[in-house]
Homo-oligomer: A and B are copies of this chain.
Amino acid sequence: MNREQLIKLRAFYKNQLLNDTLPFWFPRSIDNEFGGYLLMRDADGSLIDDDKAVWIQGRTAWLLSTLYNTIEPRQEWLDAAKAGIDFLNKYCFDADGQMFFHVTRDGRPIRKRRYFFSETFACIAHAAYAKASGDEQAAGKARALFTTCIQYADGEKKLPPKFTDTRPSKGIAIPMIMINTARQLCETIGDPRCDEYISKWIREIETGFVKDDIQCVMEQVAPDGSIIDHIDGRTLNPGHAIEGAWFILQEAMHRNNDPHLIDLGCRMLDYMWERGWDQEQGGIFYFRDVYHRPVQEYWQDMKFWWPHNEAIIATLSAYLLTGNEKYAQWHQMVHAYSYQHFHDPQHGEWFGYLHRDGTIAQTAKGNLFKGPFHLPRQEWYCYHLLNSYLDKDRV
């Protein structure tokens, strides 16, 4: 891509973010009565459920704070972020300190799950909000949540297990989410633990999950890194591994374009693009089997919105870091597929769920798992990536 194309792309992402994605959600989603956000919305924005998904309450507060910190200091963004932070603190922690997963509009708990993702998203929300507001208490909370997450990730703190000890396994999700959590802490309030931990989690991914011999990034493996040859153990999540690829490419940028990390991130992207991209009908498959056997999960060949957000970021990152035209081409492919198939030109934002053939499977823009996160993060991050690339280039 030439400079002119990159400048156009930057304008496109910024414009989509500010004039298409954000207006779908705000201001109507801010709950002025109970705090937090009302995000479960149909295509036209009508509310389909007033419950609140705790992951997404945290992600939304993070997004709004981040826009304030990095786009412009609009008071409405800061106020809206505060509504989420207050709701999280008032209603989303159980008496034992663990966070809920799903609460009612007025904050009564519906479900607590055996994961700590609510905690990671609450952590980055508090960190970004602390930077935006200067609120020391929020910064303290972010650090305390980071400590809790590290304890879970290290196995020092345990959640009730879903499986017995018969066939132990570890997932790539933990080191991935922790890299991202630490990175957000670095960018906002800073934390002396971040660098060392990020290096440790990258090593875990590299040595445990990236399999060069079969050109694959595993979603889960045995504790020694070997492949578990059963349906679950063989299941790959290409979009998730591609998200992991850009987390590592982002670290490469923060370490003076560290060639080892660039190579690692690009290998992860290469392997999982090859396995995930649907050569026949376009888009990224949700799940694949490492040995090309049938996958259990029913939605395995559907096209979900978020793997496409991750692939848009990963391909652009790889291109800007390496100049390899292959990545520019992949970026254009996934960008074109996504904005053609997922984007709703009538009401803004993206649909979440397409059939394999690219037709819309259901119309919700927000539900228990989808909200203002992956898409606006992608548009925001790509805008910034291009901004710093073009700025640097100009010098």
Distance to closest chain B CB from A362 (angstroms): 4
Q: Say yes or no for A279: interface residue by CB 8 A criterion.
A: no
Q: Is the CB of B166 within 8 A of A294?
A: no
Asked if B363 and A51 sit within 8 Å, CB to CB, the answer is no
Contact with B along A274-317 (1 / 0, CB 8 A): 00000000000000000001111011111010000000000000
Interface membership of A158, Cβ < 8 A: no
Q: Is A157 among interface residues, defined by CB-CB distance under 8 A?
A: no
Residue of B nearest to A355 (CB): B355
Interface residues of A in 36-84 (CB under 8 A from B): 40, 42, 48-49, 51
A166 & B355 in contact (Cβ 8 Å cutoff): no
Q: Which B residues are in CB contact (< 8 Å) with A364?
A: 294, 296
Quick one: copies of this chain in the complex?
2
Q: Within the complex, what minimum Cβ distance (angstroms) separates A163 from chain B? A: 5
> Which of A109-117, A127-135, A198-206, A378-386 is near enough to bind chain B?
A109-117
With beta carbons under 8 angstroms apart, the residue of B108, B166, B299 that contacts A299 is: B299
Q: Which chain B residues border A298 with CB–CB below 8 Å?
A: 298-299, 302, 304, 353, 361
Q: Mark A141-181, 1 if CB is under 8 A from B, else 0.
A: 00000000000000000000011101100000000000000
Q: Least Cβ distance of A293 to chain B in Å?
A: 5
A299 to B40, CA, bound (A): 19
Chain B residues lying within 8 Å of A367, measured Cβ to Cβ, are 231, 294, 296
Indicate if the CB atoms of A167 and B110 lie closer than 8 Å: yes
Say whether B111 contacts A162, CB under 8 Å: yes
- With contact pairs A167-B104, A294-B42, A367-B294 given, residues A49 and B230 touching in the complex (Cβ less than 8 Å): yes
Query: A166 to B105, alpha carbons, bound, how many Å?
Result: 12
A166, B104: Cβ atoms under 8 Å? yes
Q: If the complex has contacts A296-B368, A367-B296, are A164 and B112 also in contact, measured as CB distance less than 8 A?
A: yes
Given A231-B40, A368-B296, A163 and B362 contact (CB-CB distance below 8 Å)? no
Q: Is the CB of B231 within 8 A of A163?
A: no
Interface string of A120-138 (1 = CB under 8 A from B): 0000000000000000000
**Could you tell me the dominant secondary structure of chain A's interface residues?**
loop
- A356 interfacial by beta-carbon distance below 8 Å: yes
Instruction: With A166-B108, A362-B300 as known contacts, state yes or no: A355 contacts B356, CB within 8 Å.
Output: yes
**Shortest Cβ distance from residue A329 to the other chain B in the assembled complex, whole angstroms:** 29
Which chain B residue lies CB-closest to A46?
A: B293
Report the minimal beta-carbon distance from A165 to chain B, rounded to whole angstroms: 9
Q: What B residues does A361 contact at CB under 8 A? A: 298, 300-301, 356
Nearest CB in chain B to that of A296: its residue: B367
Could you tell me if A42 and B368 are in contact, using CB atoms closer than 8 angstroms? no
Q: Which residues of B contact A164 (CB under 8 A)?
A: 108-112
Inter-chain CA distance A282–B267, complex, in Å, is 44
Measured CB to CB, the nearest residue on chain B to A47 is: B293
Binary contact track A227-242/B, C-beta < 8 Å → 1, others 0: 0001100000000000
Partner of A301, one of B167, B301, B362: B362
- Complex Cα distance, B232 from A110, in Å, reads 12
Contacts of A293 in B (CB 8 A): 42, 48
Is the Cβ of B302 less than 8 Å from the Cβ of A163?
no
How far is A363 from B302 in the complex, measured between Cα atoms in Å? 15
On A, residues with C-beta under 8 Å from B are 40, 42, 48-49, 51, 104, 108-112, 162-164, 166-167, 230-231, 293-296, 298-302, 304, 353, 355-357, 361-364, 367-369
Q: A355-B355, A355-B356 are in contact. List 16 more A-B contacts (CB 8 A).
A: A49-B231, A51-B230, A51-B231, A231-B367, A294-B364, A294-B367, A295-B362, A296-B367, A296-B368, A298-B298, A298-B304, A298-B361, A299-B299, A301-B361, A355-B357, A356-B361
